Amino acid sequence: MNILFLPLLAGIAGNSYLQFGFGIQELLFRKNPSAKGDVSPALAIFLTGLFSWILFNYIVSPLGLGFMEAFLLIPFSIAISVLTEHMVSRISHTEIASLSTARTAFDGLAYASAFLTLRLSSSLFAAVAVALGSAFGFLVCGIMLRALRSHLDTEPIPRCLRGIPSLLIASGLISLIASFSATAVFAVWGGTQ
Amino acid sequence: MKDDRNAGLFWGSEGQLSSLSCFVLLFAVTSRMAHTILISIVIFLIFPITSVVLKSSTILIPPRHDFFIRIIVVSALTAIASRLFSIPWPLTVRDCAFYLGAIPLCYVSGSYKLRFESTSTLSTLVLSAKDALVFSTLAFAFALVREPFGYGALSVPGPDGVVEFFGLNAVSNLGARFASAGAGAFILIGYIVALYRKIRFRLYGKPLCGDNEQ
């Protein structure tokens, strides 16, 4: 049952964008946002979460180097993100437009996924569940913000609020809904256990 | 339109509120003043030291691996700083471990690369310190709004966790706590960016919502 609970925890209560603000450049600043553009970050979130758990639990910790986590996590997240970007461009037969977002671990999304997976998972299956939940949470945020962006562009709002400020305010309201939904889900889930 | 070439630190296109390069830290850390103090001190140490180390070892770094060496250096220095600050403030460092890890990302995603490549070592040091100062000023301003409303107190880091001052239980009700939550941070930063655009338009005549506006 825990395995079902973990993706919800990672996708709603631990959503990297809504709860911690990671990925703002990826979700709000990207020119011409599309569902296709969300594939690389989502895959990087999943792979970084999964491989960081494997790295730290099967290689780093047995060697007695667990204290290196603070140093290794960022370079590892960036390496996986860059590799993912290369892999996706090779599979989709498209040129890599820019590696700059992958070089920031997709604005920290991959790093946040790795950190959460390491903290929340006690087994490989749990790590897969948390990493999948994080990636799914990002995809849902991307869909919602694209829909909001297209509506906000046509609404009569003051010029200084157009674009990023209105999306930030909208994100705040989504974050509020996510927090209350998470509380409700966990209260109901806890009551049925 | 006024010349804003020298206004890059705050009002230029690379300014922190314009590019939101340290958004994660502004967003997450400023809910508690104690965390803001810790992160600001670490940034004040890390940004200038990293820039000087990288600038003075430019000849030794192969251009092909330039980026990864930069990220490894800043990550290593952040890890060392975390260890050092965990001696006086162990619990605060533990609470901020997630955000301390984001400092290298803020360093590489910000405008520091441009400054590092275009100036002398001394200028790099001064500009990095100014960047850290701009971040700290913004972070303290945010924390001064968010913590009193959210927790009804102001906190500083201490050996046994955060030490709170000015406890005001009347302020800290459910509605006010919204300011310290993630949702409140999004909305607060959204309105502040809009206000920033208005002021920048008045001062420098930059468009309120141009093509490259962020």
Q: CB of B122 within 8 Å of any CB in chain A? A: no
Contacts of A183 (CB under 8 A, 6+ apart): none
Whether the pLDDT of residue A12 is over 70: the answer is: yes
Q: Among A178, A179, A150, A181, which Cα is nearest to A166's?
A: A150
Per-residue burial over B151-169, b = 16 or more CB atoms within 10 Å of its CB, e = otherwise: bbbbbbbeeeebebeeeee
Region A103-113: mean pLDDT is: 88
- Residue B170 is predicted with a pLDDT of 57
Q: CB of B181 within 8 Å of any CB in chain A? A: yes
The overall average pLDDT reported for chain B is 79
Q: CB of B166 within 8 Å of any CB in chain A? A: no
Least confident of B8-17, B27-36, B71-80: B8-17
**Contacting residues of A for B26, CB less than 8 Å apart:** 21
> Does residue B107 or residue B10 have the better pLDDT?
B107
- Residue B81 is predicted with a pLDDT of 92
Angle at which helix A164-192 crosses helix A124-152, to 10 degrees, equals 140
Could you give the CA distance from residue B9 to residue B2 in angstroms, rounded to a whole number?
16
**Contacting residues of B for A169, CB less than 8 Å apart:** 186-187, 190-191
- Sorting pLDDT into bands at 50, 70 and 90, what band is B15? low
**Contacting residues of A for B82, CB less than 8 Å apart:** 70
Cα–Cα separations (whole angstroms), residue B11 to B7, B20, B60, B187: 5, 12, 34, 21
- Residue A19 is predicted with a pLDDT of 84
Give the chain B residue nearest A168 (alpha carbons). B190
CB B25 within 8 A of CB B135: yes
- Sorting pLDDT into bands at 50, 70 and 90, what band is B118? low
Region A29-47: mean pLDDT is: 82
Whether the pLDDT of residue B5 is over 50: the answer is: no
Whether the pLDDT of residue B192 is over 70: the answer is: yes
The Cα of A55 is separated from the nearest Cα of chain B by a number of Å equal to 17
Element (H, E) at B158: strand B154-158
- Sorting pLDDT into bands at 50, 70 and 90, what band is B25? confident
Whole-number CA gyration radius for chain A: 17
- Residue B171 is predicted with a pLDDT of 57
Region B82-103: mean pLDDT is: 90
Cα–Cα separations (whole angstroms), residue B172 to B21, B32, B148: 30, 14, 8
Whether the pLDDT of residue B14 is over 70: the answer is: no
- Residue A39 is predicted with a pLDDT of 86
- Residue A55 is predicted with a pLDDT of 92
Whether the pLDDT of residue A159 is over 50: the answer is: yes
Could you give the CA distance from residue B187 to residue B192 in angstroms, rounded to a whole number?
9
**Contacting residues of A for B100, CB less than 8 Å apart:** 70
Whether the pLDDT of residue B32 is over 80: the answer is: yes
Q: What is the ipTM of this complex?
A: 0.84
Query: Among A72, A73, A165, whose Cβ lies nearest the Cβ of B190?
Result: A165
- Residue B114 is predicted with a pLDDT of 55
Which residues in chain A (118-147) have CB-CB distances under 8 A to chain B? Answer: none
Region A36-40: mean pLDDT is: 82
Max CA distance (Å), chain A? 60
Q: CB of B210 within 8 Å of any CB in chain A? A: no
- Residue B3 is predicted with a pLDDT of 43
Q: What percent of chain A has pLDDT over 70?
A: 94
Whether the pLDDT of residue B195 is over 80: the answer is: yes
Whether the pLDDT of residue B120 is over 70: the answer is: yes
Tokens of A81: 């993100």
- Sorting pLDDT into bands at 50, 70 and 90, what band is B202? confident
- Sorting pLDDT into bands at 50, 70 and 90, what band is B211? very low
CB atoms within 10 A of CB B133: 16
- Residue A18 is predicted with a pLDDT of 84
Q: What is the pLDDT of residues B146-187, one digit of tens each?
A: 888 877 788 899 888 888 877 666 555 666 667 677 888 888
Tokens of B210: 């141009």
Helix (H, G, I), strand (E, B) or coil at B161: strand
CB atoms within 10 A of CB A183: 12
The counts of H helices and E strands in chain A are 8, 0
- Residue A91 is predicted with a pLDDT of 87
* Torsion angles phi and psi, residue B20, rounded to 5: 50, 40
